[in-house]
A and B are shown apart, each in its own frame.
Chain A
Amino acid sequence: MSILILADHHDGHLSGATAHVVAAAQQIGGGDIDLLVAGQDVQGVAEQAAKLDGVARVRVADHAAYAHQLAEPLADLLVRLADGYSHVLASSSTTGKNVLPRLAALKDVAAISDILDVVSTDTFKRPIYAGNAIATVQSADPLKVLTVRSTAFDAISESGNASIEMVDVAVDNSLSSFVDEQLEQSERPELGAARVVISGGRGMGNGENFKLLDGIADKLGAAIGASRAAVDAGFVPNDMQVGQTGKIVAPELYIAVGISGAIQHLAGMKDSKVIVAINKDEEAPIFQVADYGLVGDLFQILPELEQKL
């Protein structure tokens, strides 16, 4: 009985989500927690991972086949390593969601997505219907393959000193190859991990107006998000989307500007500690979940808010 976690990383940095997944693994308990860092030139990531409390070993698979985190080689690697573990976990990032179901099928076991809570070693809570219901599910499979909603677990601290060991498993991948990637560059905190998030919706009118959020985000150290309507209208890129089909956030403060509050958006933010809604339509459903609502024209409110912060 021990647990293997697929670490999330990008550009030589361990993703913040991994510390939350380790917390979920500690709640499952039962044995050692190992972290797998798979990629190319990931020694730095392995060193960051070794600092996470509660991690017994960091296992490092450093090979060109694992660069860019493609699902086919990563799942093959995990299949080879999974024996001896009772659970394999990853965060519900796009990598975790891409790789773990493939692993589960190769091991002929179910995958359980996006767990919110650990009831016992085999029983977990997870959201269904865009977070409008919470299901408690129990798995009788010998291997539990789980993705973890990182915002539902507090991050563990970083004072550990786990051992680092190399995993010498190279896999062939003739199925897929990396072509290119276009990443959004931002100085702001990562949306999924930010303490404050300010999001704009269709009410922003156009992409240019999203600049009205910049000054407020700077003052609050906030990440900037968007509703699906704003993304679909082409105002902002899709990796800013908060919702059932985008990112799930649970910051201390979420400020929704010009967002009506459709079910799919609420699924992504309604576990925020404090929600503020700024909208000119006082009937907008967002006001039903907002702790503080301000009815009015965002083009007047936003500059005033920036000035008064």
Chain B
Amino acid sequence: MKVLVAVKRVIDYNVKIRVKADHSDVDLTNVKMAMNPFCEIAVEEAVRLKEKGVATEIVAVTVGPKAAQEQLRTALALGADRAIHVATDERVESLAVAKLLKQVVDVEQPQLVILGKQAIDTDNNQTGQMLAALTGWGQGTFASKVDVQEGTVNVTREIDGGLQTVALKLPAVVTTDLRLNEPRYAKLPDIMKAKKKPLETKTPEELGVDIASKVTQLQVETPAERKGGIKVGSVDELVDKLKNEAKVIS
């Protein structure tokens, strides 16, 4: 079966972000970018399905600026067969991304779409659920185990009280949680080979999707700083401070 994997280019997760002086957004100039960690897990899961003989073809897709092709090349180096770049320099909200992915799904007809559960920049945790709604498919969100059977996929999900397993009729949408797998590193020969793999570019206009959002970002600010605390010298001093200064224990 064919698997579609959506990936996003985001700020590297180790980078300490800066808010722009005019408070319009976070400053992304000259900042290290990378594939969203949850998307790496999605790619890895697709590659493992292919290694098990379950998946026959993996198509990686991204929505974003030209530079996001780097992340598609990474996905190709990790084992995706070909890639689709939906090119736009606009800010694209989750609903519009889901609509663009729906158009790609209509053309590619995958049996499974795997996405990360959330992007670490916008922290929305929406796109997979929205794509499932638009395609009319079942959704297995926050997956820590994916088991493809004939015509169905069993997804073990991380929920607040523990784990829940659901069975979804294929085709379906799955979003990955951190514990689904440990992504591999791309090897140099694979990175070289990935440069020759097919990468197709489309635009939102070609896909017939209006990406304008009804949500406006008015302002971005730095959260209130916590004021620096003190170091105490002993357990006695700690207990005393918590009782008599902070008054959080009695």
A residues in contact (CB < 8 Å) with B? 10, 68, 70-72, 75, 93-95, 97-106, 108-114, 123, 127-141, 174-184, 192, 196, 220, 228, 231-232, 237-239, 244-245, 247, 252-253, 263-264, 270, 273-276, 282, 287-295, 301, 304-305, 308-309
Contact = CB atoms under 8 A, between A and B. Distances in A.
A11 to B, nearest CB: 8
By secondary structure, the A interface counts as: mixed
A270 B226 contact: yes
Contacts of B19: 133
Chain B, interface residues (CB within 8 Å), range: 35 or more
Contacts of B98: 105
Rank and list the top 10 A-B pairs by shortest CB-CB distance, nearest first. Answer: A175-B138, A105-B133, A101-B129, A105-B130, A101-B126, A291-B229, A179-B165, A183-B162, A176-B138, A253-B248
B30 interface: no
B141 A71 contact: yes
A177 B167 contact: yes
Interface stretch (B9-17, B47-55, B69-77, B80-88): B9-17
Contacts, number: 252
Given A133-B17, A134-B223, A98 B139 contact: yes
A308 B239 contact: yes
A218 to B, nearest CB: 13
Mostly, the B contact residues are mixed
Contacts of A288: 228
Of B129, B167, B214, chain A has the most CB atoms within 10 Å of the CB of B129
Quick one: which of A68, A95, A104 has the most chain B CB within 10 A? Answer: A104
B93 A110 contact: yes
B218 A123 contact: yes
B107 interface: no
B158 A94 contact: yes
A292 B248 contact: no
From B141, B158, B238, name the one whose CB has the most chain A CB atoms within 10 angstroms.
B238
A137 to B, nearest CB: 5
A21 to B, nearest CB: 15
Q: In this complex, which of A97, A139, A231 has the most chain B Cβ atoms within 10 angstroms of its Cβ?
A: A97
| Chain A CB within 10 A, most for which of B95, B215, B236 | B215
B216 interface: yes
Interface stretch (B116-124, B185-193, B197-205): B116-124
B230 A263 contact: no
Interface string B214-250: 1111111111001011111011101101100010110
Contacts of B162: 181-184, 237, 239
A130 B123 contact: yes
A93 B223 contact: no
Contacts of A109: 95, 214
Given A292-B230, A292-B242, A104 B95 contact: yes
Contact of B95 (A95, A105, A137): A105
Given A102-B133, A132-B16, 16 more contacts: A94-B160, A101-B94, A133-B26, A136-B220, A175-B172, A181-B159, A192-B160, A196-B249, A220-B249, A231-B179, A238-B177, A263-B14, A291-B229, A291-B230, A292-B229, A293-B231
